[in-house]
């Protein structure tokens, strides 16, 4: 009787400690590890595609070449070109988030992760 009592107290203390650890940010790191570690290039590419289709194809086109009426009117750059392909991620990410000339800024609409996913997708559009 007394042994059972002691055990349940012990278990309760232990789960209390786990809850405390979770509250201190342990849960956040577990979730982050769980979401970041298994993400592979293909999954990230797949993540970028719907974001591109929703926000970017009106000007840049499905294939990224920018041969759409608004794309041609505004002078959207051909994202599959060697010229764009050789620009560093940091510069392209900045154009997407802050905009440039007629390219609208997406920094308020898309977070950093989405912009990174978009960049990976844009890189896959490159002409071979
Ligand atoms: C309203 C039309 C429009 C939309 C929508 C648009 N763009 Fe653009 N984009 C442009 C134009 C125009 C430029 C050329 C800007 C310039 O003159 O430098 C450009 C340039 C870019 C560049 C830089 C190319 C370079 O030469 O450095 C990238 C990268 C880019 N767009 C990606 C995107 C992505 C990703 C999206 C969706 C989130 C998007 N664009 C949505 C019009 C658009």
The number of folded domains in the chain is: 2
Which of 80, 54, 75, 51 shows the shortest CA–CA distance to 65? 80
Which of 85, 93, 95, 82 shows the shortest CA–CA distance to 116? 93
Cα(49)–Cα(62) distance, rounded to whole angstroms? Answer: 10
Give the mean pLDDT of 71-87.
96
Q: List pLDDT tens digits, range 8-50.
A: 666 667 667 766 666 766 666 665 555 555 555 677 778 999 9
Q: Does residue 26's CB lie within 6 angstroms of at least one atom of ligand 1?
A: no
52 and 88 part of one domain: yes
DSSP H/E element including 52: helix 41-55
60 and 112 part of one domain: yes
Q: Which domain holds residue 52?
A: 41-124
What is the helix, strand, coil percentage profile of the chain, to 5?
A: 70, 0, 30
| pTM for the full predicted model | 0.75
Quote the ligand 1 centre to 56 CA distance (angstroms).
Answer: 8
Q: Which atom of ligand 1 lies at the shortest distance from residue 122's CA?
A: 35
């Amino acid at each position: 009787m007394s042994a059972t009592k002691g055990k349940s107290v012990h278990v309760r203390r232990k789960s209390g400690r786990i809850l405390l650890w979770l509250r201190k940010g342990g849960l956040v790191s577990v979730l982050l590890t769980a979401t970041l570690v298994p993400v592979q290039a293909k999954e990230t590419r797949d993540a970028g595609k719907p974001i591109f289709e929703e926000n970017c194809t009106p000007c840049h086109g499905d294939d990224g070449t920018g041969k759409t009426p608004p794309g041609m009117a505004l002078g959207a750059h051909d994202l599959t070109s060697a010229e764009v392909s050789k620009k560093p991620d940091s510069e392209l990410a900045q154009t997407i988030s802050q905009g440039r000339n007629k390219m609208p800024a997406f920094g308020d609409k898309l977070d950093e992760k989405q912009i990174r996913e978009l960049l990976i997708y844009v890189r896959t559009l490159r002409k071979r």
